[in-house]
Amino acid sequence: MPDYEFSPASASEDRPRGGTSRRVYVVLIVCLLVITFIMAIGIGVLVLAQRSSDSTDYVSGIILGRCLSLTRIARPELKDKDCKKILDAFKSAFVSKDPCNITKEDYQPLINLTADPVPCDKSLFWSGSKQLAHQYTGIQKEMFTLEDTLLGYMGDGLTWCGDPRTSEIKYESCPRRNEKCNSTATYVFWNVVSQKFAESACGTVYVMLNGSRDTPFSKNSTFGRVEVFNLRPEKVHTLQAWVMHNVEGVSRDSCSGSSIRELQSIVQQRKISFECHNDYRPARFIQCVKQPSHLTCKALL
């Protein structure tokens, strides 16, 4: 054990210095706590201010960003589109309006600014199979779902509404669609753009349906309510359905099922030819990328 020489004198001389040091530490700690508290308040105020401003800029920023990325990078053939005017027309359709009383006419100026015709034989509709349909058009770049067009791409996955008491865009507290609130801004938007997408289709058009559901074709879906009834027989000569089944899922319906026969009847009554394929092979290959060892997928090789 080391020897330390101790004397009363040295002890008495050390105590005042130690006490001063401790007081300095206490003061420093208190100062740091005060500074931290002030900074926390300041940051909180900034965050609250940012959130309040973001309530209107969140949707606008996404819409504008998607418009610019699609028209300037992904599809430069649309570079003549004025994304600022498109954003203004989008906002004018519902901002400061009753969120339950939006009309198709409210979106007409936006429609006029965003013409994006799809070539004949390249329109792919979907119902219950959004992910697979988008994976397919992601590979087959010449094919287009609604969400591959300018308007569909801008609005995909978003919710928005207005309020007569403010000029902000709301997205977290929008009313749900029900019997008392049927014409919401988002619902009307998708009805309008879905109708436009169907009306502009020509040649052979395709629809990808989910055969692992009890009813692959539902008259309550957007395809069943809007799109199939807005295909124009003078432009569309054939509708080809692809009934896709999950690789490991149960095959609940097929081209011979009742819901597909109902679709066939609707299409043929409109003087459009109808074709159907179970598990359309090119789309099936995409499904099998994730499960190549499954027996269903091995049979494709």
Active-site residue (options: 83, 161, 174, 202): 202
- Please give the structure tokens belonging to residue 140: 């087959």
How many Cα atoms are found within 13 Å in the side-chain-facing hemisphere of 115? Answer: 3
**3 is a domain residue:** no
Q: Is 175 helix (H, G, I), strand (E, B) or coil?
A: coil
Question: What is the band of 294 on the pLDDT scale with cuts at 50, 70, 90?
Answer: confident
| Sign of the torsion angle spanned by Cα atoms 269, 274, 278, 280 | negative
**136 is a domain residue:** yes
Distances (CA, A) of 164 to 97, 174, 261: 5, 13, 46
Residue (of 263, 135, 128) closest to 208 by Cα position: 128
Helix (H) or strand (E) holding 155: helix 150-155
- pLDDT tens digits, 187-245: 999 999 999 999 999 999 999 999 999 999 999 999 999 999 999 999 999 999 999 99
**204 is a domain residue:** yes
**235 is a domain residue:** yes
| Sign of the torsion angle spanned by Cα atoms 209, 110, 90, 161 | negative
Active-site residue (options: 100, 120, 181, 297): 120
Question: What is the band of 85 on the pLDDT scale with cuts at 50, 70, 90?
Answer: very high
**8 is a domain residue:** no
**225 is a domain residue:** yes
Distances (CA, A) of 246 to 124, 141, 209, 211, 242: 19, 23, 11, 8, 13
What is the rounded (10 degree) CA torsion for 211, 215, 216, 220? Answer: -160
The answer to whether the CB of 116 falls within 8 A of the CB of 122 is no
CATH of residue 156: 3.40.50.720
| Sign of the torsion angle spanned by Cα atoms 225, 105, 67, 100 | negative
Helix (H) or strand (E) holding 20: helix 8-69
Q: Average pLDDT of 102-117?
A: 97
Q: Average pLDDT of 238-261?
A: 91
Distances (CA, A) of 191 to 4, 70, 200, 280: 89, 22, 14, 28
Interacting residues of 266 by C-beta distance below 8 A, sequence separation 6+: 228, 229
Q: Please indicate whether residue 137 or residue 25 has the higher confidence score (pLDDT).
A: 137
**109 is a domain residue:** yes
31 catalytic, yes or no? no
Q: Please indicate whether residue 189 or residue 290 has the higher confidence score (pLDDT).
A: 189
181 catalytic, yes or no? no
**How many domains does the chain contain in total?**
1
Query: Is the per-residue pLDDT at 70 higher than 90?
Result: yes
Global pTM reads 0.79
Can you give the pLDDT at residue 299? 78
CA distance 166 to 47: 21
**236 is a domain residue:** yes
Question: What is the band of 293 on the pLDDT scale with cuts at 50, 70, 90?
Answer: confident
Can you give the pLDDT at residue 249? 72
Domain of 184 in residue numbering reads as: 28-298
